[in-house]
Structure 1
Amino acid sequence: MTDSGATPTSLTEHEARDRAALLDVDRYDIRIDLRELADGERWLATSSIVFSCRRPGTSTFVDIDGEVLSATLNDIELDVSKHAGGRLPLPRLAAENMLTVSSVQTDTGSGNAILRSVDPQDKLVYVWSTFEPDGAHRAWACFDQPDLKAVHGFQVSAPTEWTVLSNSAAEVVLDRDDGGRLWIFEDTPRLSSYVVVVNAGPFHAMRDFRGGFSLGLYCRQSLRPFLERDAAELFELTEQGLTFFGERFARPFGQERYDQVFVPDFGGAMENWGCITWADSFLHRVPPTYAQRGFRALVLLHEMAHQWFGDLVTMRWWDDLWLNEAFASFASAWASVSATEFTDAWAAFLAQEQLPAYEQDAGPASHPIRSAVPDVDHAFASFDAITYFKGQAVLHQLMALLGEDTFAQGLQRYFDAHAWGNATLDDLIDALGTAAGRDLSSWTASWLDRAGTDTMSLVGTTLLTSSPDGGEPRRHALRIGSYARTPDGLAPVEVRALETAGTTTFLLDLPVADLHLINDGDLTFASVRADERSLSVLLAEAAQLPDPVNRALAVSTCWDMLFKGELSTGDFLDCVLAVLATESSPGVVQPLFTLALRAAEQWSPAVLVPRRLTRLAEVAAARADQPEHRLPALQTLAAAATAPEHFELLDAAATDDVDLAWRVEVRRASLGRYDEAAVAALLARDPDPDARVRAWGVSAARPLEEAKAEAWDRVWRERAVPAGQPLVDFAQCFWRPVQHELVLPWAHRYLDEVAEVSGGGLLALSGLVRHMRPTTADQEWLGRAQDLTEGDALAPAIRTVVRIVADQLTRMLDARA
């Protein structure tokens, strides 16, 4: 047996192309034994692979990261001592081959592809797996690259009381003579290695049959009441999404069973075929706000869209990662607006997700939507706002350019041509271009292969467009809305659709108006700059615009100007607070409150922070009387409260809202009013099995060195704070804006940690680095960050995060000054 202990070698694109040209994988039969994980750490697997070789006599390798117990190729034992760097050599292949590898993985506690977790409340054990981009070979031997798709057959042994879930339905469940049960699953269709899954534990299950599909929801037993509260909505959204995508793509989802599994200490969600894995923080411990429900719907639809775009048709290599992620993000908003109650999804997207894409695209971490990915380690660097959200915006523009029906016809062609296979960007663009009867090659080159954001400005009746690389600006399909002041607000005079070409577009007969809104409806991805008169109206009267997308566009335009040093924080706050005072769209209110809080706390000079928080708190307190906006208003008030009457209002509201009560205690602790008895009472009252993390957050907010040290160890040494939203919330407790002098040394400690971070999967580590980023710095810190990112010491994904953080902090420090 072997366990090389060496760092696995990252598969290169060249190696993947060579292996794909050599092999055709027919099927995997994978036997997994989880029984030792009930009270131990060993994941045991035997993988039998049937594959053919186009050049018999050639050698290759199979990927396996763990201890190899035995291996045979065509009934001949292999020398497992040659297993190194996560690779086992396969010499002298035959035309038809059978490879069997038995292995054990003992790293089941770090979250690197596999996590065994123990519920802190009832001590029950749960196990999840997630493999994007190349984690499957940590669980069993496989050819771990996206273009070697194969049928997978799973047989899983597990403790008797556990439920085992995989991509397909369990065909039979048998009692084992030596203890536990054996779950035998139906074969999957041909899938890439990164979208197969095994999850197990004593789950609480809920099932319903809707729209011809058997739908399942699963969670920890301790979260049962929260799943049961939200199940009706989740089932309805799932049915709506499957119906919408099946009709628009002219291809129903490919099997009857569709499961969604909520698991602990997981970041985000993963699109495994037929068995979506979610972070169970999406099961909110108190009734969620409209914006939280809307965002959860987008995540549900995003992972569902992947069943077609990613699972059914898969990219050949990770340079087309955007084919997966940008499309799924776009499709989730498309479906949300078209098929669910969350019809303001595009306005919410503009106010929330699109801004980070604009920010990243303006800084040193900018890159084309489609980027070169020399090896899998670099693929992690593409899991960012440009891939997801700029890509989403660009696809939204492409659909506007082609028309929704034509766009859908192109997608249908694409799925028909490449179902259960692999495809490239060119394949998608060819299908869309054929449906539209136009050549889209220049669109591809300008929008997907160039970095940066064009800027559009109106001078008189001339629309000027410039590109940051000095080249020819992209073609933009957009609208310009002209609005006049009336006693009832800003009324449209004309909304003109146009398509730009080059640097100058003449707008003949542009009507006289008080405001010309460039990119009305947010149909293109561009920084827009209003003429002087329009800007004054935008700053003072954005709230009077009749459409929530355009109100969000006005605020995002002002934020873009603040981010680039063209507008003061005070002017931005004047605009966003005026919009928030009257905004009717619940999908927009919460992200705009978040943006206003960010400006007041992080982009303001320390001396002005209390005054600006008071302004925000007054707006939030006023909106708290309106039922549809009460929850986000109270949550914002809890973050910004300064006056006794704020705390009186919050304490009254928190009597039946434990989440709000925790937020209020964080605020009090940050102001030096930590109440240990109140925290203990909240722990006793909170039904959340992870409530201890909330208590840790209250402690972390205290303006004390020992509080910061204790919190730091919990994150970086103990890794005790769950991934995803719990870590985001904890970081916000730690980095209190008015504690600059106290937390500045910890900002420097952050760079120390980043330089040495290890243990766990790279996605999890980059999430840790991203979520625990500091919100303050000094010039020495900026210099250290630059030195760190200019070398090769950091993994590409982590280097990208640090570049983004350093760029944001540079701009924030300039704004504070």
Structure 2
Amino acid sequence: MPVLTRDEAQARARLLDVHRYAVDLDLTRGDELFGSTTRIRFTARHAGDTFVELRPAALHRAVLDGRPLDTAALDDNRLALTLTPGEHELLIEADMRYSRTGEGMHRFTDPADGETYLYTQTFIDDVQRVFAAFDQPDLKAVFDATVTAPPHWTVLGNAVATRTGDPAEGRWELATTQPLSTYFVAFAAGPWHSVRTEHAGLPFALHCRRSLAPHLDADAEELLDITRRCFDRFHEIFDEPYPFDSYDQAFVPEFNAGAMENPGLVTFRDEYIFRSAVTDTERQTRGVTVAHEMAHMWFGDLVTLRWWDDIWLNESFAEYMGYQILAEATRFDDAWTDFACARKGWGYDADQRPSTHPVAPDAQAVQDTASALLNFDGISYAKGASALRQLVAWLGEKDFLAGINDHFTRHRFGNAALADFLDSLARNTDRDVHAWAATWLRTSGADTLTPTVTDDGRGGWRLDVRHDGTRPHHLAVGLYDHAPDGSGALVARDRLTADLPAGGGTRTVEGTGPRPALLLLNDGDLTYAKVRLDAASWQTALTSLSALPDPLTRAVLWNAARDMVRDGELAPAAYLDAARTHLPHETDVAVTRAVLAFARTHIADRYVTPADRPAALAALTALAQDLLDRTRNQDREEDGTAQGLRLTAVRTLIDSATTPDTLDAWLRDGTVPGGPALDPELRWRALARLAVLGATTAAAVDAELARDPSATGQEGAARCRAALPDPAAKEAAWHAMYDPQHRPELSNYLFTATAEGFWQHEQLDLVRPYLDRYHPAAVALAARRGPALATAAGAAGFPRPFVEQRTLDLGEECLRTDGPTPALRRRLGDQLDDLRRALRIRQRQA
């Protein structure tokens, strides 16, 4: 399929002024196809040739200004148009194909009750899978829509939807929208379970499939309370009121992203409707996503990027605002600790790979929609949000918000670029924001800050900060002393503030009083840079890290240790020792989860040698057991910390088990001694580990699926079957993932679950023959099924357990060909860079 280039988009934007779409969808034509009729009214500013995009199963009719066009002239996804100056109307009638990959119009039948649900994901260039469009973000138009659906369904869209005519006809009409970019147009249809309310004079609602109704009802008040609080807080800081006529939040199945900011109809992955126990940190993560998507109503929906080089204007701002507004407006006032634990590393990792790019790349670096899709990564989200947090710390919140509101006013319902935003900031501050942007937004890579602490000879001390990098940094320096009572606690002094100029070098800060026992650069995590510790501070951290009073400070320290392991400056075993020492005393669930996740998935699975892996897993199971023992008799705190720590420990113990006895006992009893009960998520998790260990059977998997026949049960069963150490099970899983003759082809979620089960460290000899088969199969799948499955094949599908030179050689050989699609090529390149890093770390240990 031809992708849209930046030059083509600019040429079409100069030619066209698009006014209005009228879209009519017929969702009653069976399981494979739906009807799509589109009428587009637009103006050509001068005579010229252009094209409209659509990807139909069958194009029935195309009429321009009453004149039929040759439908056979459709060239892949483009229908050519020759225009005279003035007003035009284009009519397109087509049959479109339902998707099973979360792109376009996704169709899902719930195995729990047989009900079918549809929703659209029209991001970047997928609206043409739903209806004909001039598919680029800077050709905004208003939309009218009508939908025919089965009579017992509910239809949702960007504006208020009303059932019309005879209810038996299933006709729905949506109110006219504000001007929207095509990639924001959204529909959802099915027998939704809905919880409706009103706030600030607008209809608000939550929607999910019926089989999840009890779980949504249990959390509806929490979700609506977060929604209302964030909505009100945005109205306190933004001059522009919420710009749309309703606020629906639909939790939809098999969604590829966390959520999508469709105006008036935000779609979320329905794993956010919790059907099993979760930690309070996971509830906070859901709250961040609610706030993130609401921020997009302004950052992205009201003012939209002009081209895809400026996705940071959407995602970095929404990421920053999601955490900031949640912390300001809800009970989750420690959200930035979770950001430091769960998101910051995503940005640092992405920024140190060859595929790194600036937060705001030059437009020439994003020449088409295929390359744009690759930039939705840890840089555009986590690093960009970190940069904005640094900007606010440097600029001041008052001037920052003044610039934002100026930006909204100047570009309301229009499009804008980085230069426009910087101009708005510059109008509201005396700071040189253009120079700041040049160093922070137009460059790539992570700076490193290294302290040296020395006595000054006068009873004081001196801090020299070596700055390897180019960006200026406004940061806090934490100073901590041992408590005088001998309790082992660390007591904070007043923080120092340091400003490091652009260009790197060494900056000296004079300290007063005795030398601190621990000095921490970037305490409070206000900037984006890797930090190191001086030798004395590191020794204090090794003995007293868990005694630091602030969880965000502890998160910054753990991130420093994480970076040191990844850079080969700290042995993986030393990280495990630190975790073994301090996590039993950790009180923050986000910190505990992050440390255990890094230890389990990076250190135990990749960084230690195969000979040392059993010892690493044994250390993790012992650590998890310590956490369980410590929290067994703790009072159940109101915020759920003890339960959250126990659940985190149970998950780690399951994932790290090397013998089946404990897991068998838990499954048999249905609970962990002292709690928690083994709910569906934990049961499937335990069964998957037993499958890896060869301690269960296909019959046991079938029995568990009969117990839990839900969609997540289907995924759990697919994961378990693929994990069985049986040649027939492995071949069946491979056939399901990659054979084009397999019917039905796996959905995006079932593919990922199967891939997660397939490659296992404990089964290297069994799956080694598939190593040579992987790259040809992944290349063919990506070409056949598109970016979503390409990403899955390059992520969960990659043979990560083979931390070997041969894996690297095979991957590099594949990348030397032109076979991989852009989405697969990017994912494979990142995997190979991570593999090189793991091999270097192992070599250092040897």
Instruction: Give the structure-1-normalised TM-score.
Output: 0.94
Question: Does 1:587 pair with 2:578?
Answer: no
Q: Which amino acid aligns with 1:742?
A: L
2:726 is aligned, of 662, 686, 704, to: 704
Shift of the 58–476 alpha-carbon distance from structure 1 to 2, 3 Å rule, reads same
- State the aligned residue count: 799
* 2:770 corresponds to: 746
Q: Distance in 2 between matches of 1:303 and 1:685?
A: 35
* 1:254 corresponds to: 243
CA contact (8 A) 1:561 1:567 kept: yes
Q: Pairwise mapping of residues 35-50 of structure 1 onto structure 2 (< 5 A)?
A: 35-36=28-29, 39-50=30-41
* 1:436 corresponds to: 429
Any idea what SS the aligned residue of 1:690 has?
Answer: helix
- Deviation (angstroms), 1:627: 2.7
Q: Pairwise mapping of residues 413-562 of structure 1 onto structure 2 (< 5 A)?
A: 413-460=406-453, 461-467=463-469, 473-486=470-483, 487-488=486-487, 489-501=489-501, 502=503, 503-509=505-511, 512-562=515-565
* 2:605 corresponds to: 601
Question: Does 1:616 pair with 2:620?
Answer: yes
Q: Distance in 2 between matches of 1:236 and 1:361?
A: 36
* 1:810 corresponds to: 836
Q: Distance in 2 between matches of 1:130 and 1:453?
A: 33
- Deviation (angstroms), 1:608: 2.1
- Deviation (angstroms), 1:648: 4.4
Q: Pairwise mapping of residues 639-650 of structure 1 onto structure 2 (< 5 A)?
A: 639-642=655-658, 644=661, 648=665
Q: Distance in 2 between matches of 1:442 and 1:609?
A: 48
Q: Distance in 1 between matches of 2:72 and 2:834?
A: 48
Any idea what SS the aligned residue of 1:117 has?
Answer: strand
Any idea what SS the aligned residue of 2:165 has?
Answer: strand
2:695 is aligned, of 673, 683, 688, to: 673
Shift of the 771–388 alpha-carbon distance from structure 1 to 2, 3 Å rule, reads farther
- Partner deviation per Cα, 1:132-164 (whole Å, 9 max, x = no partner): 101112211111000000000001111111111
- Partner deviation per Cα, 1:309-348 (whole Å, 9 max, x = no partner): 1111000000001111111111111112111222222111
Q: Pick which of 777-786 and 546-555 moved more.
A: 777-786
- Deviation (angstroms), 1:548: 0.9
CA contact (8 A) 2:737 2:754 kept: no
Q: Distance in 1 between matches of 2:723 and 2:302?
A: 46
CA contact (8 A) 2:751 2:792 kept: no
Any idea what SS the aligned residue of 1:435 has?
Answer: coil
Q: Which amino acid aligns with 1:386?
A: I
Any idea what SS the aligned residue of 1:91 has?
Answer: strand
Question: Does 1:783 pair with 2:809?
Answer: yes
Q: Pairwise mapping of residues 235-246 of structure 1 onto structure 2 (< 5 A)?
A: 235-246=224-235
- Partner deviation per Cα, 1:423-453 (whole Å, 9 max, x = no partner): 0011112222322222211111111111111
- Deviation (angstroms), 1:788: 2.6
Q: Which amino acid aligns with 2:54?
A: I
2:199 is aligned, of 193, 210, 227, to: 210
- Partner deviation per Cα, 1:375-407 (whole Å, 9 max, x = no partner): 111111111111111111111111111122322
CA contact (8 A) 2:701 2:721 kept: no
Q: Pairwise mapping of residues 21-100 of structure 1 onto structure 2 (< 5 A)?
A: 21-36=14-29, 39-55=30-46, 57-66=47-56, 67-100=58-91
Q: Distance in 2 between matches of 1:192 and 1:617?
A: 50
- Name the % identity: 35
Q: Distance in 2 between matches of 1:284 and 1:389?
A: 25
* 1:630 corresponds to: 646
Q: Which amino acid aligns with 2:797?
A: M
Q: Which amino acid aligns with 2:402?
A: Q
Any idea what SS the aligned residue of 2:172 has?
Answer: strand
Any idea what SS the aligned residue of 1:149 has?
Answer: coil
1:299 is aligned, of 279, 289, 300, to: 289
* 1:133 corresponds to: 124
Q: Pairwise mapping of residues 123-272 of structure 1 onto structure 2 (< 5 A)?
A: 123-175=114-166, 180-268=169-257, 269-272=259-262
Q: Distance in 2 between matches of 1:148 and 1:298?
A: 30
Q: Which amino acid aligns with 1:519?
A: N
- Deviation (angstroms), 1:637: 1.4
Q: Which has the higher contact order (CA 8 A, sep 6+)?
A: 1
1:346 is aligned, of 336, 340, 345, to: 336
Shift of the 807–113 alpha-carbon distance from structure 1 to 2, 3 Å rule, reads same
Q: Distance in 2 between matches of 1:790 and 1:513?
A: 53
* 2:823 corresponds to: 797
Q: Pick which of 683-692 and 228-237 moved more.
A: 683-692
Q: Distance in 2 between matches of 1:656 and 1:755?
A: 39
CA contact (8 A) 2:65 2:88 kept: yes
CA contact (8 A) 2:778 2:790 kept: no
- Deviation (angstroms), 1:171: 4.0
CA contact (8 A) 2:23 2:38 kept: yes
RMSD: 2.2
Shift of the 145–390 alpha-carbon distance from structure 1 to 2, 3 Å rule, reads same
Q: Which amino acid aligns with 1:530?
A: L
Question: Does 1:733 pair with 2:757?
Answer: yes
- Partner deviation per Cα, 1:526-585 (whole Å, 9 max, x = no partner): 111222222222334322221111111111111111112121110111223333212212
CA contact (8 A) 1:43 1:108 kept: no
Q: Which amino acid aligns with 2:518?
A: L
Q: Distance in 2 between matches of 1:137 and 1:15?
A: 16
* 1:406 corresponds to: 399
Shift of the 243–790 alpha-carbon distance from structure 1 to 2, 3 Å rule, reads farther
* 1:387 corresponds to: 380
Shift of the 131–673 alpha-carbon distance from structure 1 to 2, 3 Å rule, reads same
* 2:457 corresponds to: none
CA contact (8 A) 1:613 1:641 kept: yes
* 1:309 corresponds to: 299
Q: Pick which of 496-505 and 412-421 moved more.
A: 496-505
Q: Distance in 2 between matches of 1:746 and 1:568?
A: 32
Q: Distance in 1 between matches of 2:9 and 2:711?
A: 43
Any idea what SS the aligned residue of 1:567 has?
Answer: coil
Q: Distance in 2 between matches of 1:97 and 1:590?
A: 57
Q: Pick which of 489-498 and 710-719 moved more.
A: 710-719
CA contact (8 A) 1:551 1:579 kept: no
CA contact (8 A) 1:539 1:571 kept: no
CA contact (8 A) 2:593 2:648 kept: yes
Task: Return 5+ residue gaps in structure 2 as ranges.
Answer: 454-462, 633-641
- Deviation (angstroms), 1:510: 5.8
Q: Distance in 2 between matches of 1:528 and 1:466?
A: 10
Shift of the 528–332 alpha-carbon distance from structure 1 to 2, 3 Å rule, reads same
Q: Distance in 2 between matches of 1:803 and 1:548?
A: 35
Any idea what SS the aligned residue of 2:139 has?
Answer: coil
Q: Distance in 2 between matches of 1:530 and 1:218?
A: 49
* 2:636 corresponds to: none
- Deviation (angstroms), 1:729: 5.5
- Partner deviation per Cα, 1:262-300 (whole Å, 9 max, x = no partner): 222221221111101122222232132222212211222
Shift of the 812–407 alpha-carbon distance from structure 1 to 2, 3 Å rule, reads same
CA contact (8 A) 2:158 2:185 kept: yes
* 2:639 corresponds to: none
CA contact (8 A) 2:110 2:710 kept: no
Q: Which amino acid aligns with 2:117?
A: Y
Q: Distance in 2 between matches of 1:301 and 1:729?
A: 29
* 1:4 corresponds to: none
Task: Return 5+ residue gaps in structure 1 as ranges.
Answer: 1-6, 468-472
Q: Which amino acid aligns with 2:721?
A: S
Q: Distance in 2 between matches of 1:92 and 1:729?
A: 49
Shift of the 789–450 alpha-carbon distance from structure 1 to 2, 3 Å rule, reads farther
- Deviation (angstroms), 1:792: 3.5
